[in-house]
Structure 1
Amino acid sequence: MLSILGLAMILVFIVALSRKKLQVFVALTLVPLVFGTIACLATGNGVLDVFTWIQHGVFFKVDPDTGKVAWGVIAPATTILFSIFYFDLMLNVGLFDPVAEFFIKKAKGDPLKVIMSTAAVASVVSLNGDTTTTIIICLAAFRALYKQLGLTLWTLAIVIVAPIGIWNQLPWGGPTIAAAAALHVDLIALFRQLLPGLLTAQVVVLVIAYRIGLKERARIHFDPASCESVGPEQIDAMLRAVRDKDPGLKRPRLFWVNLLLTLGGLTLLILDLAHGAVVFLLLSALALVINFPDVDQATDRIEAIAPDVLPTTIATLGAGVFSGVLTGSGMASALANSIAGAIPTSLGSHMAPVYAVMATPAIVFLPQDAFYFGIASVLSGVMEQFGITPMQAAVASMVGQSFRLISPVIPALYLLCGETEQNFVDFQRKYLRWFWPVLVTYLVVYGLTGALPW
């Protein structure tokens, strides 16, 4: 019963978004509220339990036996709130103008060069293993440039997240840690098995980014062989558009101060010396007092930036309602067990790649721990009966990470979709259209190395 409710909740959520029947925050909040209430009635729980599940999903839950705290989305929501505010402020004062001008001059309006640069920067930044940080940095560096050059913002979104899905599988990444712990395999040994696939997938992502760049060239009729495609006058017009935007807010004399402030904050963030929410909260306060010491000016900036901050932040909090109800009601666990039971065991030694493909939707829609400690841990024992080792089962459980970065339970993706002006389901479709070869790459490479027996 719970597995059917869980599946229905996910499907209703997807349909409501794809047909634009509900706004994303409303869908994330009211759909699980309805299905959570039904789950309470069906299982004999008190209806008020729904509020407890939501509290756990949004804020935190304390394990009564171990005392361990499992945080909800309040931390990433706060990080997103202040990070959007801070980088909007830095855009206002012109911190990223030199970056935009550099790429405009070097790319000379060439979409291919801009898109390849995006993929390269996202790949490097994502090595820290933090999705939110990578998205924030890449949006700040490239969003204005894409808009200036007339490039599609959905391209920016999918080119940013594709490398994140690869490098989240480093030893300090959440999926790899969860897989190793759930299947009781050595973390570093698992990473060694994954590394050939990750490196090959990175090459594939760059090739796909190159193809997207060629498509964008054709769409805006850019001819790299013609010096007339983007002449000096047009480039100068692009540069002026950057320089002349909100000139009253620009603070060129404070450029180095703002740069050092930003680099210092990002260093704390990347080295994990302080929580992102705390870092960006303090950065925002410092940036306001440095750049807008007048109280009225500072107040005006807060009010002007609020429309950028509010939609993404409340969508993130809505994601906490969705994941809290899905997990707390038992729907996540029941759905995990149902998916595990649906995978045929009669395929023998071929079960590993079959499991890798069939488990991919679960990786996308279930909370990460629900998948690895539910489905993956259960199926590891089943596959062992057919000669598939726990290590090979762990590798199979990582293949679906190729699509993890289109999951509706990742809060930072709502920031990405908001900043790139697109519906979440449209973002999912565009990513699937272009980056499905990453999943195939994993299957082929792991098959050739023996990490995933065929």
Structure 2
Amino acid sequence: MYLAIIGYLMIFVLVYLLLKGKTSPIILFIGLPLIAAALLGYSIKDIGQFAAGGVETTMNNAVLFIFSIMYFGLMNDAGMFDGLIDGLVKKAGTKVISVTIVTAIIGIIGHLDGSAATTALVTIPAMLPIYKKLNIRPTVLLAIIACGMGVMNLVPWGGPTARVATVLEMNANDVWKTVLPIQIVGIFATIGLAYILGKLEIKRGAGAAEGSEKIEKVEVKIDEKVLALKRPHLANINIGVTLIILILLMWDIIPSYVVFMIAFSVAMLINYPNIKDQNARFKAHAPSALSISATMIAAGIFVGVMNETGMLEAMASVLLGFVPEAMGKYIHIIMGILAAPIGIVLGTDAFFYGLLPVAIGVGNNYGVDPLNIAITMLIGKNLAVILSPAVAATFLAIGLAEVELKDHIKFTFKWVYGISLLMIVIAIITGVISL
């Protein structure tokens, strides 16, 4: 019981401090498990071994994150999809359904790098003037983007998938290949949602004013330094390199982190052959890459200590007393259904590093495969990623769209929650998730 008490206290403190933003997640993931292990009486040598074992399981995914973030940062600098996105915006014209569907496509493409902030910055400023002109509610824009982000965030370099891989001590690419069929379903569901919302907006009176044939172009001032980084003449080459990356990731003949290491080097040489430009691009993207990867490595210590000390098993044993015997084998389905609302409250780190390991511990006692639990919770939670007040990108998105958080959650939640449940159902039917 003492093990379980220490474990639950650690989880409570972790979640509380993460939600309050009192300190860096890196400090929490390193400090809390070390204190807990010391309270349990483990020696410095044992604690060091637990921590080292946890770190070892995260290194491949951490390297993947470093180079994938820097690669897609380079592609964003070079404007890989700028021409395509501009073309889609022009294609949308003044037809409401075309506008909502184009929003979905831009959101999906824009989130290929796994960054919610980038998606918001690419999609919202481009589409909001059109939405205003056509009298389409900006909450519709946010709902479509939120769904596209949630679906695309299942890529191996997306934060949630990498966190799941850390907890499972797996390669993030292997997790992604498991959920890839459901991600494809989610992409079509996002476009379907855009169509439905477009139809509903027409019913409530949205559309171009009489006599209006086009939307006035909104001039957006872009810094000259940013423009200087653009490489429109290399867009096709950059897209080709990115497609090769995706093929290699699915083919799985080279470790995913090696793929991105090579791709980053090639992309840097093609787009910025000058050494000064290379150093500048590296310095621009390294802080973000290092911050996320360092958090992941620190989380490895957290998960490693929880596992090796027996805290996780003890916590799961306590929870077993509250789970009806008949429901135990369906714990993954229950957690998947509850994942979206719980995820909104907890945020990403607390959900995947705090709740997921405990759920896996409970599932083990009923013979539920840890991967089964993890992907069900991943699919269930991911669609609500941009609704959580604990996620900084949420405030960026609502700020750009000029929408209040309460209005965003009130309108968007029912749609993304419905699609997350649909994806879980299809995953069960297709055998991606087993009962």
State the TM-score, normalized to the length of structure 2: 0.64
The DSSP-based 3-state class of the residue aligned with 1:225 is coil
Task: Report if aligned partners of 1:115, 1:159 keep a CA contact under 8 Å in 2.
Answer: no
Partner of 1:104 in structure 2? 89
For residue 101 of structure 2, the aligned residue among 105, 113, 132 is: 113
Deviations 1:66-110 (A, max 9, x none): xxxxx32x2222222111211221222222111221221123486
Contact kept in structure 2, 1:365 and 1:407, CA below 8 Å: no
Q: Deviations over 1:139-177 (max 9, x none)?
A: 87775233433577796455322476799xxxxxx99xx
| 2:257 alignment counterpart | 277
The one-letter amino acid paired with 2:366 is L
Q: 8 Å contact 2:93–2:215 — kept in the other structure? A: no
Correspondence 1:160 to 2:163: no
C-alpha RMSD of the superposition: 5.3
1:145 aligns to 2:133 (yes or no): no
Matched, 1:3 2:11: no
Q: Identify which of 290, 307, 321 aligns with 1:327.
A: 307
- Does 2:66 align with 1:81? yes
377 and 20 in structure 1: CA distance in 2 versus 1, 3 angstrom threshold: closer
2:159 counterpart residue number: none
Contact 1:399 1:443 (8 Å CA) reproduced: yes
Residues 334, 19 of structure 1: CA spacing in aligned structure 2 closer, same or farther, 3 A cutoff? same
Q: Secondary structure at the match of 1:357?
A: helix
* Distance (whole Å) between structure 1 residues aligned to residue 47 and residue 143 of structure 2: 36
**Other-structure match for 2:365:** 378
Q: Mean alpha-carbon deviation: is it higher for 140-149 or for 332-341?
A: 140-149
* Secondary structure at the counterpart of residue 207 of structure 2: coil
Query: What does residue 402 of structure 2 align with?
Result: none
Which amino acid in structure 2 is aligned with residue 49 of structure 1? D
Shift of 1:229: 8.1
The alignment covers a number of residue pairs equal to 374
| Alpha-carbon distance, 1:234 to partner | 1.6
Q: Relative to 1, partners in 2 of residues 1:83 and 1:317: Cα closer, same or farther, differing over 3 Å?
A: same
Q: What is the Cα deviation at residue 211 of structure 1?
A: 7.2
1-side partners of 2:353 and 2:34: how far apart?
19
Deviation, 1:343, is 0.7
1:279-318 CA distance string (max 9 Å, x none): 1211221222222222122222222333443333333333
8 Å contact kept, 1:161–1:405: yes
Residue in structure 2 matched with residue 49 of structure 1 by the alignment: 46
**1:40 partnered with 2:37:** yes
Q: Unaligned stretches of 5+ in structure 1?
A: 61-70, 123-132, 168-173, 180-190, 381-389, 409-415
Q: Which moved more, 1:2-11 or 1:275-284?
A: 2-11
**Relative to 1, partners in 2 of residues 1:7 and 1:163: Cα closer, same or farther, differing over 3 Å?**
farther
Match of 1:31 among 4, 28, 33: 28
Structure 1 distance, partners of 2:251, 2:118, is: 20
Aligned to 2:347: none
Instruction: Specify the alignment match of 1:136 in structure 2.
Output: 114
Secondary structure of the structure 2 residue equivalent to 1:274: coil
Matches of 1:228 and 1:199 in 2, distance apart? 39
Q: How far 1:46 moved relative to its partner?
A: 0.9
Q: Which moved more, 1:363-372 or 1:256-265?
A: 363-372
Larger mean CA deviation between 432-441 and 4-13 belongs to 432-441
SS in 2 for 1:342: coil
Q: Is the 8 A contact 1:376 1:397 kept in 2?
A: no
Give the alignment of 1:10-409 within 5 angstroms: 10-22=11-23, 26-27=24-25, 29-58=26-55, 60=56, 71-72=57-58, 74-108=59-93, 112-117=100-105, 136=114, 143-150=121-128, 156-162=145-151, 223-226=206-209, 231-234=214-217, 237=219, 246-345=226-325, 356-357=333-334, 364-365=351-352, 374-380=361-367, 400=377, 402-405=379-382
Q: Which amino acid aligns with 1:357?
A: I
Deviations 1:41-85 (A, max 9, x none): 343211443333332222x2xxxxxxxxxx32x222222211121
One-letter code aligned to 2:231: R
Range that drifts further, 11-20 or 241-250 = 241-250
- 2:29–2:302: 8 Å Cα contact kept in structure 1? yes
Structure 2 residue runs of 5 or longer lacking an equivalent are 129-137, 157-162, 169-177, 344-350, 398-404
| SS of residue matched to 1:92 | helix
Q: Deviations over 1:312-337 (max 9, x none)?
A: 33333333233233323322222222
CA contact (8 A) 1:353 1:443 kept: no
Deviation at 1:136, TM superposition (A): 3.2
The share of aligned pairs that are identical, in percent, is: 22
Per the alignment, residue 175 of structure 2 pairs with none
- Cα distance change on mapping 1:422 and 1:213 into 2, 3 Å: farther
Given the superposition, is the C-alpha separation of residues 140 and 407 from structure 1 closer, same or farther in structure 2, using an over 3 Å criterion?
closer
Cα pair 1:135 1:161 within 8 Å, conserved: no
SS of the residue corresponding to residue 160 of structure 1 reads helix
Q: Find the aligned partners of 1:214 and 1:321 in 2 and give their Cα distance.
A: 49
Once the two structures are TM-superposed, the CA of residue 437 in structure 1 deviates from its matched residue by 3.6
Task: Answer whether contact 2:75 2:238 (CA < 8 A) is retained.
Answer: yes
Q: 1:99 corresponds to which letter in structure 2?
A: L
Change (3 A) 1:16 1:82: same
Q: Is the 8 A contact 2:53 2:304 kept in 1?
A: yes
Given the superposition, is the C-alpha separation of residues 159 and 79 from structure 1 closer, same or farther in structure 2, using an over 3 Å criterion? Answer: same
Question: What SS does structure 2 have at the residue aligned with 1:21?
Answer: coil
Amino acid of the structure 2 residue aligned with 1:320? G
- Do 2:363 and 2:373's aligned partners in 1 also have CA atoms closer than 8 Å? no
Counterpart AA for 2:13: V
Q: Which amino acid aligns with 1:376?
A: G
Q: 1:139 & 1:401 partners in 2: Cα distance?
A: 20
